[in-house]
Amino acid sequence: MLRIILLGPPGTGKGTQAELISKKYGIPHISTGEIFRKAAMEGSKIGIEAKEKYWGKGKLVPDEITVKLVEERLAKKDCKNGFILDGFPRTVKQAEALEKIAKIDFVIDIESRKETIIRRLTSRRQCLKCGKIYGIDMPPKKEGICDVCGGKLFQREDDKIDVVKKRLVEYEEKTKPLINYYKKKGNLFTVNGEQSIDKVFEEICKILNKKNLNT
Ligand code: AP5
C-alpha cells in the first residue's frame, strides 16, 4: 500500500514527480488542479465557476468543493493499492477531512526557492492532448509541439506572473502550515526540489523504498 501526499509550493515539481512515481509504482496520480482545469475545459457549471472565481485568480477553491471531489475520486477501484495526491490537501481543514477518508503513509514536501518557482512556472507549457509538462530545463524538441503525441502546447492561465504571485501568497498563508501539521504526525519527508528532475525522483524513491522495507 502506497498512499502518498506531495506537498510544496506551486511549481516545485509535484506534478512532474507524481507522474514518475505513478509509472514506477503503478498507482494513480490524483491532481486536484488537473480535475478543476478539465472541468472548466468541459464547460461544467462547477468547473467554470471554480475557474472564474478561484483558480483563474490564484485563489484556492473552497474546502467543501475540493474535499467532496477527492472523496469521490479515492473511492474508485484504482485507488485500492494506493495513490498519489498532488495538490491536496492544501489547508489544515482539508487535511483534517482527509484523515477521515484515508490513511496516509508518506507526506513528501518538495522545497524550492521563490525565484526558481517563478522561472519554472512562467516558462511551463503543457500538452493540450496528453497533459505532458515541459519547462525551461526540459523543452520540447519542436517548439509548441508535444514530443509524445504531437499535440499542441499551451500556457496555463494561472501561470501568468500576476497570478503566480497570488498563488504564492495563498501557499504561504494556507498551505505552508501543513508542514508543521504533518511534522507532528511523524510521516513528513523533505526533498530539495532545486535539483534535477532525476535527482529529485531518486531521493523520493529512496524514501519510499527504505520505509517500505522497514514496515
Ligand atoms: P495545481 O494544478 O495543483 O497547481 P500548483 O500546486 O500550484 O502546482 P503546479 O501544477 O503549478 O506545479 P507543480 O508543483 O505540480 O510543478 P510541475 O511539476 O508542473 O492547482 C491549480 C489551482 O487549482 C490552485 O491554484 C487552486 O486554485 C486550485 N486547487 C488545486 N487543488 C486545490 C485544493 N486542494 N484546494 C483548493 N484549491 C485547489 O513543474 C513546474 C515546471 O517546472 C514544469 O515546467 C516542469 O517541467 C519544471 N520542473 C519541475 N521539476 C523540475 C526540476 N527538478 N528541475 C527543473 N525543472 C523542473
How do residues 72-110 score in pLDDT, each as one tens digit?
Answer: 999 999 999 999 999 999 999 999 999 999 999 999 999
Whether 3 is catalytic is no
pLDDT at 210: 78
Distance (Å, rounded) from C-alpha 184 to C-alpha 10? 23
Q: N- to C-terminal Cα distance for the chain? A: 11
Q: How far is the CA of 10 from the centre of ligand 1 (A)?
A: 4
**Whose CA is closest to 8, among 199, 159, 200, 205?**
200
Q: Does 137 have pLDDT greater than 90?
A: no
32 CB within 6 A, ligand 1: yes
125 lines ligand 1 (CB under 6 A): no
Nearest CA to ligand 1 atom 27: 55
Query: What rounded mean pLDDT belongs to the chain?
Result: 95
Q: Is 61 exposed, middle or buried (0-12, 13-18, 19+ CB in 10 A)?
A: buried
The number of C-alpha atoms within 13 Å of 153 and in the hemisphere containing its C-beta is 19
112: Cβ below 6 Å to ligand 1?
Answer: no
Q: Is 51 in the pocket of ligand 1 (CB under 6 A)?
A: no
- pLDDT of 211 reads 63
For the chain, percent helix, then strand, then coil, each to nearest 5? Answer: 55, 15, 30
Contact call for residues 98 and 88 (beta carbons, < 8 A): yes
Catalytic-role residue among 14, 51, 120, 125:
14
pLDDT of residue 155: 95
Mean pLDDT of 193-200: 97
Given a cut of 60, whether residue 215 has pLDDT beyond it is: no
